[in-house]
């Protein structure tokens, strides 16, 4: 499961992801700022949109492929592509090669997959980032997406990053490894099952008494904080990029 | 279409489909790692005993000189009043020499004639293991004229004789021993404890259908 | 089950799911059981590297055997026949049922005792035999409990896992004459032992499954803890072994890595009480053993699975159940909700391929693609990928696979949505227009939008998208030049 990481580059692309674009843009901005602070120039191609995963997971491969092809065209230069979501990063890294197998875009898809990194993975393994915590003491609970745990396998890097913050205490929730029930279109196609899962996840998160929920994936965040709000509980959610940026200013 | 003809068709169709599509299978990849899953065991007797006892088996450490004495002492102490042994068992003559006060029942007829006794009368059966596996606390019993398989299955108690010198470290070692394994008997039995089940709310209970007690006479010396 | 019966898998899936989710006792039973099984498995694999090496070995062994499947099947047949085992081939469930009925009739037998066989559940054997006046009694404790309840297994290893102790105690008390109500597990098992012992004694034919069939030696291997498998295959004069064609392995050396993975992955055991290797009926100089042993090789869709490069990975399965033990969906809806012989992740992959997507494809929706199953699978079957693939095949009548019912799950309304979605997302202009509208008119987004807002507050678009912020900030939005 290990991956070879390159030397710190001078330039990278940033793929914002459609969820962050529309719902959590500050997470994208903070991710970019974290990278720029490490002395790397960040390029945000404006033609980018969505990685194609929603259609792909629903079994609509042609539609997914047409959108994925448009994304491949956004990142032509052979420099790293950093993605503030393990879910979208894994779509590119794990699925793009097979999605374009046998097509004229196969090479381009492979090349893109090779140089795609999840944000915390990139900060830890490529930038060797050093963080200095300027924030107030706080108790947080961290939710690692299934993509981070079992596809990109970057959850330990997210953890490493957070562990550098001296005033942050991380509490572990029960059944931390279990899916929160988002699963993209799963949450609307199998809503009752998804709800059963997110309710259990909310229970375990609330039981920690944490003041703040931090996660690397906005899909999970939208799912969890949406459920927390609907049931009248209180737990603020933040993307790991925003959480770190705000505390290390 | 007659039964056999229909079946020959099935056989043909199945194999033909498999052969037709077999080119779509990935070519045989790299070397399989022969050490994956292989655990070396130094103290074979210790490992065997620990594993067998963890599975609720009982181990009587004994010697080639004393095992018969130990066996009959155990039977008496446990108030087990009879012991069935195969007529052609390796130790039939040896055991029948002893005058022990325990009723020795010979398994000397076809199963159909023994069935009633086996199910309703026999308190304990005596089997001989031809080898064992240390890592998992396993007895290997080869069925044959001297080892009827129902003897280690039907009576509620099973005594099994095992020579510690025949212990393999692990199953890999045992199955790789071609001289030992082949030719295979009609039943090669790996027995690793008394019968059990956890089908009721994952709670372990012993004595499901096979013997409730498995007692190993472990011959060491 | 017949293909006809299988039709209800799709039809009533949603209802069964909702019923299961509302059943608090059932959910408690499954939560407790799955936690237990996951812990047991984890305890057997303390070293991650060792585990990965063993899984890789298992995967390679299975791949090698599958690659040679037709040859191995022929070798198995030849060896079995020379050992005195009669070999039958069944392309369909119907054929398998008729072959087994035929053997029963040949012996004028009306009483069968069964060791455990999921393949026999797959073909609906018990009902078929009952229709022909033959009693097929389950002897595995879990199967026996489920049969008392006039139900089916909810898990491929632990058939009665959906019931707790109290429910089973009640069942024994109500269905077994002379049995007082007790929750003492030892006493309950004792009752089962007594009842079933009589059945072993009386049975005319015993039927079992097969865990591994060794081509090199013509040997059928059975894995069990209770002893009912040995009873069923030793006591009655006739033994019938029902075996999926994918269960064949090449040689004895293939057994140890697979058996090791199986027991540890399934129940967290180092080894099962019994591992029985059957290589023939009673020999002339032997005192016991069945007079006849029959091997029924079952295809029922497996050779079609073999045809597809990606889906053939389904056939590596060694039926350990680890996937369903780790599945957060299975844990919450239980096995019966799937409506299929095979529940959980492997069930979602195998059921549509056996009975057709048109009959069983809907259950592929009950998956968040979280990957816990893939990580637990001892032979590295990429279950989420296969589930997703079957979703694709359900939507796509021109898909390259061999699964029946391709394209029959396509919903025209959904297809239009994805076409529209693709149009928006591959046109930078349309995409940014959508972003602009959503952010500028965010206050107009309704608070109730379908299933999402049933359980969550409606997501609120930001006032400015990331694209907007990029324009405002100093971040380069043109493409990087070739200068450093």
Helix, strand, coil % in chain A, rounded to nearest 5? 50, 10, 40
Q: Among C69-83, C239-253, C444-458, where is mean pLDDT lowest?
A: C444-458
What was the pLDDT predicted at A1?
Answer: 53
C-alpha distances out from residue C66 to C140, C220, C243, C257, C259, Å: 29, 17, 15, 16, 17
Predicted-complex ipTM score: 0.97
Tens digits of residue pLDDT in C358-389: 999 999 999 999 999 999 999 999 999 999 99
Sign of CA dihedral A7, A8, A11, A17: positive
What was the pLDDT predicted at C484?
Answer: 42
What was the pLDDT predicted at B4?
Answer: 79
Residue A18: inside a domain, yes or no?
Answer: yes
Tens digits of residue pLDDT in A153-201: 999 999 999 999 999 999 999 999 999 999 999 999 999 999 999 999 9
Residues of A whose CB is below 8 A from C451: 187-188, 191
Percentage of residues of chain C with pLDDT beyond 70: 98
What was the pLDDT predicted at B7?
Answer: 77
Select the more confidently predicted residue: C145 or B96: C145
Average confidence (pLDDT) over A198-226: 98
Domain span including residue A17: 11-125
Residues of B whose CB is below 8 A from C66: 25
Measured between alpha carbons, how far is B124 from B159 in angstroms, rounded to an integer? 7
Are A63 and C421 an interchain contact pair (Cβ–Cβ within 8 Å)?
Answer: yes
Measured between alpha carbons, how far is C203 from C209 in angstroms, rounded to an integer? 17
Tens digits of residue pLDDT in C29-40: 999 999 999 999
Measured between alpha carbons, how far is C143 from C273 in angstroms, rounded to an integer? 18
Q: Mean pLDDT, chain B, as a whole number?
A: 93
The partner residue sitting opposite C158, judged by closest CB among B37, B182, B199, is B199
What was the pLDDT predicted at B2?
Answer: 52
Q: Which residue of C has its CA nearest to A45?
A: C477
pLDDT band at C354 (very low <50, low <70, confident <90, very high): very high
Domain ranges of chain B: 43-196
* Lookup: tokens for C279: 């290589």
Closest by alpha carbon to C207, among C228, C191, C192?
C228
Contacts for C348 with CB less than 8 Å, ≥ 6 apart = C338, C363, C364, C366, C367, C383, C387, C390
Nearest 5°: phi and psi at A137? -60, 140
What was the pLDDT predicted at B28?
Answer: 63
Going by DSSP bridges, is the β-strand pair B103-107/B138-142 parallel, antiparallel, or unpaired? unpaired
Q: Which of residues 67-96 of A touch C (CB under 8 A)?
A: 67, 69-70, 76-77, 79
Tens digits of residue pLDDT in B137-173: 999 999 999 999 999 999 999 999 999 999 999 999 9
Helix (H) / strand (E) containing A82: strand A81-83
What was the pLDDT predicted at B101?
Answer: 80
pLDDT at C8 over 90: no
Measured between alpha carbons, how far is C62 from C261 in angstroms, rounded to an integer? 12
Report the CATH number that the domain containing residue A142 is assigned in CATH: 3.40.50.11810
* Lookup: tokens for C79: 């060896």
Q: Which of residues 160-179 of C touch A (CB under 8 A)?
A: none
* Angstroms from C396 CA to nearest CA on chain A: 8
Neighbours of C211 (CB within 10 A): 24
For an interface test with C, give the residue of B14, B41, B84, B176 to mutate (most C CBs within 10 A): B14
Considering the domain architecture, whether residues A108 and A149 belong to the same structural domain is answered as no
Tens digits of residue pLDDT in A35-57: 999 999 999 999 999 999 999 99
Q: What is the CA radius of gyration of chain B?
A: 22
Question: Are C255 and C217 in contact, with CB atoms under 8 Å apart?
Answer: no
What was the pLDDT predicted at C474?
Answer: 66
Query: Is residue A133 packed enough to be buried (19+ CB in 10 Å), middle (13-18) or exposed (0-12)?
Result: middle
Nearest 5°: phi and psi at C2? -80, 165
Measured between alpha carbons, how far is B30 from C61 in angstroms, rounded to an integer? 11
What residues form DSSP beta bridges with C418? none
What was the pLDDT predicted at B99?
Answer: 65
Name all chains with 3 or more CB-CB pairs below 8 Å to chain B: C
Domain ranges of chain C: 45-303, 415-472
What was the pLDDT predicted at C469?
Answer: 94
What was the pLDDT predicted at B29?
Answer: 64
Considering the domain architecture, whether residues A15 and A120 belong to the same structural domain is answered as yes
Q: Among A8-17, A90-99, B197-206, where is mean pLDDT lowest?
A: B197-206
CATH topology of domain C45-303: Rossmann fold (3.40.50)
The partner residue sitting opposite C273, judged by closest CB among B26, B114, B196, is B196
pLDDT band at C478 (very low <50, low <70, confident <90, very high): low
Helix (H) / strand (E) containing C274: strand C274-278
Question: Are A57 and A146 in contact, with CB atoms under 8 Å apart?
Answer: no
pLDDT band at C479 (very low <50, low <70, confident <90, very high): low
**C276, C282, C284, C288: CA torsion to nearest 10:** 90
Closest by alpha carbon to A75, among A108, A120, A107?
A108
Q: Among A111-115, C174-178, C299-303, where is mean pLDDT lowest?
A: C174-178
Q: How many domains does chain A have?
A: 2
Neighbours of C197 (CB within 10 A): 18
Considering the domain architecture, whether residues A120 and A177 belong to the same structural domain is answered as no
Measured between alpha carbons, how far is A24 from A31 in angstroms, rounded to an integer? 11
The answer to whether B and C touch (≥3 CB pairs < 8 Å) is yes
Tens digits of residue pLDDT in C188-237: 999 999 999 999 999 999 999 999 999 999 999 999 999 999 999 999 99
Question: Are C350 and C316 in contact, with CB atoms under 8 Å apart?
Answer: no
Q: Provide DSSP, C53-88.
A: HHHHHHHHHHHHHHHTHHHHHHHHHHHHHHHTEEEE
What residues form DSSP beta bridges with B206? B196
CA atoms within 13 A on the CB side of A155: 17
The answer to whether A and B touch (≥3 CB pairs < 8 Å) is no
What was the pLDDT predicted at C352?
Answer: 97
Q: Which residue of C has its CA nearest to A65?
A: C422
pLDDT band at C476 (very low <50, low <70, confident <90, very high): low
Measured between alpha carbons, how far is C170 from C175 in angstroms, rounded to an integer? 8
pLDDT band at B26 (very low <50, low <70, confident <90, very high): low
Measured between alpha carbons, how far is A223 from A216 in angstroms, rounded to an integer? 13
Average confidence (pLDDT) over B34-41: 96
The partner residue sitting opposite A22, judged by closest CB among C365, C391, C462, is C462
Q: Provide DSSP, chain B.
A: --HHHHHHHHHHHHHHHHHHHGGGSPPP-S---TTTT----S-HHHHHHHHHHHTT-EEEEE-TTTHHHHHHHHHHHTT--EEEEETT-TTHHHHHH---SSEEEEE-S-HHHHHHHHHHT--EEEEE-SEEETTTTEEEEE-BTTB-GGGGTSSSEEEEEEEGGGEESSHHHHHH-HHHH-S--SEEEEE-SS-EEEEETTEEEE-SSS-SEEEEEEE--
Measured between alpha carbons, how far is C204 from C109 in angstroms, rounded to an integer? 6
What was the pLDDT predicted at C316?
Answer: 98
Average confidence (pLDDT) over C286-292: 97
Last residue of a domain, one of A94, A125, A156: A125
Tens digits of residue pLDDT in B57-71: 999 999 999 999 999
Residue A2: inside a domain, yes or no?
Answer: no
What was the pLDDT predicted at B1?
Answer: 42
Helix (H) / strand (E) containing A70: helix A61-72
What was the pLDDT predicted at C400?
Answer: 86
Considering the domain architecture, whether residues A31 and A94 belong to the same structural domain is answered as yes
* Angstroms from C452 CA to nearest CA on chain A: 6
Question: Are C271 and B190 in contact, with CB atoms under 8 Å apart?
Answer: yes
3 state SS of C193: helix
Considering the domain architecture, whether residues A27 and A117 belong to the same structural domain is answered as yes
Going by DSSP bridges, is the β-strand pair A116-118/A168-171 parallel, antiparallel, or unpaired? unpaired
Q: Mean pLDDT, chain C, as a whole number?
A: 94
Backbone conformation region of residue A153, classed left if phi is above 0, alpha if psi is from -120 to 50, else beta: left
What was the pLDDT predicted at C483?
Answer: 44
Tens digits of residue pLDDT in C52-95: 999 999 999 999 999 999 999 999 999 999 999 999 999 999 99
Spelled out in words, what is the top-level CATH class assigned to the domain B43-196? alpha beta
């Amino acid at each position: 499961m290990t991956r070879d990481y390159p030397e710190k580059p001078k330039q990278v692309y940033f793929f914002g992801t459609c969820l962050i674009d529309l719902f959590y843009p500050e997470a994208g901005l903070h991710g970019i700022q974290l990278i720029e602070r490490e002395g790397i120039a960040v390029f945000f191609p404006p033609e980018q949109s969505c990685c194609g995963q929603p259609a792909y997971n629903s079994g609509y491969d042609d539609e997914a492929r047409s959108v994925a092809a448009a994304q491949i065209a956004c990142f032509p230069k052979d420099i790293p592509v950093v993605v503030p979501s393990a879910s979208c990063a894994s779509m590119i890294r794990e699925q793009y090669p097979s999605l374009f197998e046998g097509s004229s875009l196969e090479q381009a898809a492979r090349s893109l997959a090779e140089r795609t990194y999840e944000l915390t993975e990139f900060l830890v393994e490529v930038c060797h980032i050093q963080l200095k915590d300027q924030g107030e003491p706080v108790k947080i609970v961290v939710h690692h997406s299934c993509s981070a745990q079992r596809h990109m396998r970057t959850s330990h890097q997210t953890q490493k990053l957070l562990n550098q913050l001296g005033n942050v205490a991380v509490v572990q929730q029960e059944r931390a490894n279990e899916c929160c029930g988002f699963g993209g279109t799963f949450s609307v196609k199998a809503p009752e099952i998804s709800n059963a899962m997110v309710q259990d996840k909310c229970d375990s998160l609330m039981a920690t008494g944490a003041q703040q929920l931090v996660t690397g994936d906005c899909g999970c965040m939208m799912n969890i904080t949406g459920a927390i709000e609907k049931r009248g509980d209180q737990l603020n959610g933040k993307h790991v990029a925003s959480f770190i940026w705000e505390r290390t200013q | 279409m007659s039964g056999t003809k229909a079946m020959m068709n099935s056989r043909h169709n199945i194999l033909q489909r498999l052969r037709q599509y077999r080119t779509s299978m990935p070519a045989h990849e790299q070397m399989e790692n022969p050490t994956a899953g292989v655990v070396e065991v130094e103290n074979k007797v210790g490992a065997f005993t620990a594993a067998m006892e963890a599975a609720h088996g009982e181990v009587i450490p004994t010697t080639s000189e004393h095992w018969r004495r130990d066996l009959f002492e155990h039977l008496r102490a446990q108030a087990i009043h009879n012991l069935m042994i195969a007529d052609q068992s390796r130790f039939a003559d040896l055991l029948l020499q002893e005058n022990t006060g325990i009723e020795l029942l010979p398994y000397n007829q076809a199963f159909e004639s023994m069935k009633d006794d086996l199910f309703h009368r026999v308190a304990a059966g005596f089997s001989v293991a031809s080898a064992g596996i240390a890592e998992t606390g396993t007895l290997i019993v080869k069925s044959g004229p001297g080892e009827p398989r129902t003897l280690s299955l039907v009576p509620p108690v099973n005594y099994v004789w095992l020579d510690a010198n025949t212990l393999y470290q692990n199953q890999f070692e045992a199955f790789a021993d071609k001289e030992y394994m082949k030719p295979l008997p009609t039943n090669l039995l790996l027995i690793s404890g008394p019968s059990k089940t956890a089908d009721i709310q994952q709670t372990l209970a012993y004595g499901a259908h096979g013997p409730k007690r498995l007692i190993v006479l472990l011959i060491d010396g | 089950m017949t293909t006809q019966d299988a039709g209800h898998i799709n039809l009533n899936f949603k209802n069964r799911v909702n019923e299961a989710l509302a059943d608090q006792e059932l959910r408690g039973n499954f939560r407790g059981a799955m936690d237990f099984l996951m812990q047991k498995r984890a305890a057997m694999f303390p070293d991650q590297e060792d585990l990965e090496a063993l899984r890789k070995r298992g995967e390679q062994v299975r791949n090698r055997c599958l690659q040679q499947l037709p040859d191995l099947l022929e070798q198995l047949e030849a060896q079995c026949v020379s050992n005195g085992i009669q070999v039958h081939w069944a392309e369909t469930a119907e054929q398998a049922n008729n072959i087994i009925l035929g053997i029963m009739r040949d012996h004028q037998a009306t009483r069968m005792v069964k060791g455990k066989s999921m393949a026999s559940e797959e073909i609906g054997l018990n009902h078929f035999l009952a229709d022909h006046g033959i009693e097929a009694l389950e002897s595995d404790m879990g199967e026996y409990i489920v049969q008392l309840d006039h139900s089916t297994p909810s898990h491929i290893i632990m058939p009665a896992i959906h019931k707790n102790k109290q429910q089973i105690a009640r069942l024994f008390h109500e269905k077994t004459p002379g049995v007082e109500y007790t929750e003492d597990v030892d006493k309950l098992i004792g009752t089962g032992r007594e009842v079933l012992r009589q059945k072993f004694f009386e049975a005319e034919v015993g039927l079992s499954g097969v865990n591994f069939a060794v081509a090199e030696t013509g040997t059928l291997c059975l894995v069990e803890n209770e002893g009912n498998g040995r009873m069923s295959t030793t006591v009655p004069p006739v033994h019938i072994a029902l075996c999926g064609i994918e269960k064949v392995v090449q040689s004895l050396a293939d057994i140890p890595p697979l058996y090791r993975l199986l027991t540890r992955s399934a129940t967290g055991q180092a080894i099962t009480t019994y591992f029985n290797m059957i290589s023939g009926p009673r020999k002339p100089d032997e005192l016991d053993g069945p007079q006849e042993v029959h091997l029924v090789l079952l295809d029922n869709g497996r050779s079609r699975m073999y045809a597809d490069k990606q889906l053939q990975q389904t056939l590596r399965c060694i039926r350990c159940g680890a996937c369903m033990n780790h599945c957060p969906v299975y844990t919450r809806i239980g096995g019966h909700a799937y409506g299929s012989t095979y529940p959980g992740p492997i069930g979602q992959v195998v059921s549509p391929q056996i009975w057709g997507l048109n009959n069983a494809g809907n259950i592929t929706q009950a998956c968040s693609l979280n990957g816990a199953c893939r990580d637990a699978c001892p032979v590295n079957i990429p279950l989420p990928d296969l589930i997703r693939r079957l979703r694709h095949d359900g939507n796509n009548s021109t898909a390259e696979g061999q699964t029946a019912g391709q394209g029959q799950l396509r919903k025209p309304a959904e297809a239009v949505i994805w076409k529209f979605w693709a149009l928006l997302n591959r046109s930078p202009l349309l995409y940014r227009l959508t972003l602009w509208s959503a952010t500028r008119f965010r206050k107009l987004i309704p608070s109730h939008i379908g299933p999402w807002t049933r359980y969550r507050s409606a997501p609120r678009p930001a006032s400015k998208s990331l694209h907007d912020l990029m324009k405002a900030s100093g971040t380069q939005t043109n493409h990087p030049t070739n200068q450093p």
